[in-house]
Structure 1
Amino acid sequence: MSVNHPKGSAEYINRLNKIKVLNLIRESGSISRAEIVKQTGLSAPTITRIVDSLINKEKLTSQVGIGESKGGRPPVIVQFNGEDNYVIGIDWGRTHIYGVISNLNGNSLAKLDVRTEVGDGFETDLKRVISLIEKLLHKSKIDKRKVYGIGVAAAGFINKKTDIIEYSPNFKWKDVDIKKPLKEFFNVPVIVDNVSRVMAKGELMYGIGDRCKDFIFINIGYGIGSGIIMNGQAFYGFDGMAGEIGHNRISDSSAGGLQCSCGKKDCLECYSSGRGIAEMAMDKLKFYPNSSLNKLEKISTQTIAIEAHKGDELALYIFNQAADYLGLAIASVANILNPAAIVLGGKVMKSGSFFTERIRTVFNREIIQQPNRNIELLQSQLGNEAAVKGAVSLILNEVLNFRV
C-alpha cells in the first residue's frame, strides 16, 4: 500500500501538498479554496489543481456551494466527501468479534457482534470474521467497490516488519497471519495492528486527539496493554511490540507466584486484568467462606465489581489490589515517557468510580510531581467502540495519506 516517490521529486512534493490540503478540508468541515490558500501558504493555481484532482479523480472532496462574497468573486466552498466511501473495522476479541462498516466520516452503517468460544482455534474464528464481514456488506447494501479496506484490531505481539502475530497470550496463537487470508478473500487492503495501539489510534482520531497529540492509552480488558501516541503518531518500538505494559512483573514472589498467559510469573495481567481478577477471586474463595461471591452462579469481573459496590470484603480486596498495581504501573510508564495525558479504557474500566478513583490516588502519589506539571488521567469516552473505531481509523489514515 506504500507509495514510493524520491524525496524532493515533483511527485513527492505534490503528494505532500495533496495530503496537507485533504486533511485541512476534512478537519475544517467545509472551507473555501481561498481559505485553503491562506492556511497552507500554497499558491492559488496549486490549490486549484489539487482540489480539482480531489473532486474529479480521487473523489474525496466535493464542491458544496458558493460562499458569501466580501467584494470580488464569491468563494467556492468544498468539503470532505466521506459519505459515499467506506471502511470495515473489526475488533477481534477473545470472547467476541465485533464488526462495523463505516463511511469515511466515521458514521456507522451497520454493526454486528458475535460470541466466540474459548477453546476455538484461529481457523474457526477466521471463518466467523469472514462471515461477519459478508453479513455487514449485505446488511448495509453498499457497493463493495467503494470499500477502501479492512482494519483489524487483535491482541498479540505483532511484528510490523512482517505483519505476523508472533504470539498472542490471550488466544494462544503462534505465527498467525490475519492479513493474507482476508486480503485474498475480499480483494481489498487489510491492516492488522495490536488492539491496544488500535484503541489509542481510535482515541487520536475520534476522542482526545482533537486537543492532545501526546498520550498513552491503557487498555484494561481480558488482558492489559497500552498504545503510545507521540506527536500525533503511534509509537511501535523496534519491531512493533512497544506498549506491553501487562507483561511486566510487578511482584517479586520468589516462591511460587501467579502464572501469566505469556509464560512468565506475576505480570500485571495476573492481578489487574479481567482474566486475572476473575481467577484471583476463584483462588481466594476458600479463605472467605462468608463472601457473597460464594453465592454467585458465575464469577466474572462484572459480578465481582457488583459485589465490591455492595461492600463485600473479598471483592473489594481484589479490586483494590488490581487498582493499586495499575496505579503503580501507569505512573512508572508516565515517568518514563512524559505524556500529556493517560487515557484508561477497556471493559474492566466499567467496574465503577471506586476503581477509577483508587487508580487515580495511587497514580498521583507515584507520579513525579512538579509545580507546572499536570498529567491528566482520563477515562475513554469511546467505550466499547474504541477498538472498532480505531480499526476504522487504520484504513482512514491510509486514505488521508494516499496510500490506498
Structure 2
Amino acid sequence: MSSNHPKGSAEYINRLNKIKVLNLIRESREISRAEIVKRTGLSAPTITRIVDSLINIEQLAEQVGIGESKGGRPPVIVKFRGDDSYVIGIDWGRTHIYAILSDLDGNTLLAHDIKTNPTDGFEADLRLVSKIIEKLIFKSGVNKKKLRGIGVAAAGFHNKTTDVIEYSPNFNWENVDIRKPLTELFDVPVFVDNVSRVMAQGELMYGVGETYKDFVFINIGYGIGSGIILNGEPFFGFEGIAGEIGHNKIHSNAPAGIVCACGKIDCLECYASGRGISKLASEKLKYYPNSSLNKLDELTTQIIAEKAKAGDELALFLFNQAADYLGVSIAFIANLLNPAVIVLGGKVANAGSFFTERIRTVFQREVIQQPARSIDLIQSKLGNEAAAIGAVSLILNEVLNLRE
C-alpha cells in the first residue's frame, strides 16, 4: 500500500487507522472486533471495513472463531496472520553467516550457518549470502510469492540516508551497498541495518518488547554496539549511526594505548569485545607463564571464558577488566537516556554469570538510582539468534506499517 498520501487526507487517515488496528491485532494475539472498537475508539462500521480489508486484501489477519456471548451477538475473533508469510533474516558476521527462514510470527522454519574466511572480502561474502538465500528457499519449498522480504544485520556505520555501510571496522568495508544487489537478485524488498540496532528491534518485536517499550540493547560480541529503543521505536540519530558505544574512549591519559580497528586509541572494544579480549590474551601470555591459556593452539573468546570460569588468572583478569569497563560505559548510557531497562546480548554476553554479574555490580554502583526508580540489566530473550530474528523484524516492521 502506498504511503504517499497528503497528511489529513481521507486516504492518509484510513491508512493510519489500519496500521493502528493491525498492530493491535498482532499484539493481542487474538481479539474480537468489538474489543478493537473499544480499544481504538473507532466506530464499529470503520472497524468492520478495516478488518475485512486486512483479511481479504492485505491477507494479514484471519477470523479464527466466535467468542462466548455475554448477551447479544457473539463476538467475532480475529488474529494476526503471520504463519503464511515468509521472511529471510541474515546475521552477516565476521566469522560466520547465519541465516533463517521464518514466518512473520517469528517461528524459525529453516536455518543455515556457515563459517566464513574473514580475508575473503565483501564480494565473496555477498556470493555466499546469495547462495544461502537460494538454499533456504529451495529446501523449505515455500512459495516465493509469499516471501515478504529479506532482512540483513551487519556490523558497521550504516547511513540511513544513503542506505550504505559507510565503514565497518569489523569487516574493513567502505561504502558497501548490500541492499541493491540482493534486491536485484531476488526481486523482493531488502532492508539492511546495523547489527546492534537490528538485535534491539528483534527484542522489541519478539522478545522483551512484550514488557518494555523503552530500552537499550547492548551487543557484546566480536565488536560492541548498542541499539536504542525509545517509545517503541528504534532511534537512529541524524544519519543512522547512533549507538556506537564500542568506539567511545575509556582511557583518557594512557601514554601508549591500544589502537582500535576504527583507528582511534583505547576504545571500549579494545578491552571488552570478543576481538579485544582475544587480542589482549595473546599479548599478555608472556607475563602469565603458568596460565592454562599457554597450552592452547587457538585463543578464542569462548575458550578464554571457559578458562576464566575454571579460575585461570589471566582469563579471569581479562573478563573482569572487560566487565568493569562495560559496567561504567553502560551506566553512562543509562544516565543519559533513562531507559526502563538495559538488555545484554551478543555471544560474549553469554560467557557466563560470573561475567554478567560483575557487569551488573559495577553498573549498579555507577548508575543514578532513586528509591522510586531502578534500572536493571536483563539478558536478551532471543539469545544468539537475536541478530537473525532481528533481521526478520525489519520486514515485519514494514508489514505492520503497510509499507511493503
The total of aligned residue pairs comes to 404
Aligned twin of 1:64: 64
- Answer yes or no: is the 8 Å Cα contact 1:253–1:266 preserved in 2: no
Following TM superposition, by how much is the alpha carbon of 1:187 offset from its aligned partner in structure 2, in angstroms?
0.4
Following TM superposition, by how much is the alpha carbon of 1:253 offset from its aligned partner in structure 2, in angstroms?
4.3
Alignment partners' CA distance in 1, 2:60 and 2:371: 46
Matches within 5 A, 1:80-119: 80-119=80-119
Matches within 5 A, 1:113-262: 113-262=113-262
Alignment partners' CA distance in 1, 2:308 and 2:253: 26
1:320 is matched by which residue type in structure 2? N
Alignment partners' CA distance in 2, 1:109 and 1:302: 28
Alignment partners' CA distance in 1, 2:51 and 2:330: 45
Aligned twin of 1:332: 332
Alignment partners' CA distance in 2, 1:3 and 1:189: 16
Following TM superposition, by how much is the alpha carbon of 1:340 offset from its aligned partner in structure 2, in angstroms?
1.0
Query: CA deviation digits over 1:281-311, x for unaligned, max 9?
Result: 0000111111111011211111111111121
Alignment partners' CA distance in 1, 2:54 and 2:174: 42
1:240 is matched by which residue type in structure 2? G
Query: CA deviation digits over 1:230-286, x for unaligned, max 9?
Result: 111111111000000000010124432101000011000000000000000000011
Mean CA deviation greater in 317-326 or 62-71: 62-71
1:221 is matched by which residue type in structure 2? G
- Answer yes or no: is the 8 Å Cα contact 1:197–1:226 preserved in 2: yes
Query: CA deviation digits over 1:89-133, x for unaligned, max 9?
Result: 111011111111111111111111111111110000000110000
Aligned twin of 2:387: 387
Following TM superposition, by how much is the alpha carbon of 1:382 offset from its aligned partner in structure 2, in angstroms?
1.0
C-alpha RMSD over aligned residues: 1.1
1:230 is matched by which residue type in structure 2? L
Following TM superposition, by how much is the alpha carbon of 1:4 offset from its aligned partner in structure 2, in angstroms?
1.4
1:107 is matched by which residue type in structure 2? N
Mean CA deviation greater in 333-342 or 364-373: 364-373
1:171 is matched by which residue type in structure 2? F
- Answer yes or no: is the 8 Å Cα contact 1:37–1:43 preserved in 2: yes
* Matched position secondary structure for 1:308: helix
- Answer yes or no: is the 8 Å Cα contact 2:22–2:400 preserved in 1: yes
- Answer yes or no: is the 8 Å Cα contact 1:250–1:267 preserved in 2: yes
Alignment partners' CA distance in 2, 1:55 and 1:312: 60
Query: CA deviation digits over 1:327-356, x for unaligned, max 9?
Result: 111111111111111111100012111111
Aligned twin of 1:357: 357
- Answer yes or no: is the 8 Å Cα contact 1:219–1:225 preserved in 2: yes
Following TM superposition, by how much is the alpha carbon of 1:381 offset from its aligned partner in structure 2, in angstroms?
2.1
Matches within 5 A, 1:284-363: 284-363=284-363
Query: CA deviation digits over 1:162-191, x for unaligned, max 9?
Result: 101000000000000000000010001111
1:118 is matched by which residue type in structure 2? P
Q: Taking structure 1 as the reference length, what is the TM-score of the superposition?
A: 0.98
Mean CA deviation greater in 367-376 or 275-284: 367-376
Aligned twin of 1:44: 44
Following TM superposition, by how much is the alpha carbon of 1:10 offset from its aligned partner in structure 2, in angstroms?
0.3
Mean CA deviation greater in 84-93 or 26-35: 26-35
1:64 is matched by which residue type in structure 2? V
Query: CA deviation digits over 1:310-335, x for unaligned, max 9?
Result: 21111111111111111111111111
* Matched position secondary structure for 2:212: coil
Following TM superposition, by how much is the alpha carbon of 1:400 offset from its aligned partner in structure 2, in angstroms?
0.7
Alignment partners' CA distance in 1, 2:47 and 2:14: 11
Alignment partners' CA distance in 2, 1:62 and 1:119: 48
Aligned twin of 1:369: 369
Q: Taking structure 2 as the reference length, what is the TM-score of the superposition?
A: 0.98
2:120 is matched by which residue type in structure 1? D
**Unaligned runs of at least 5 residues, structure 1:** none
Alignment partners' CA distance in 2, 1:186 and 1:233: 28
Aligned twin of 2:77: 77
Query: CA deviation digits over 1:180-216, x for unaligned, max 9?
Result: 0000100011110000000000111111111111110
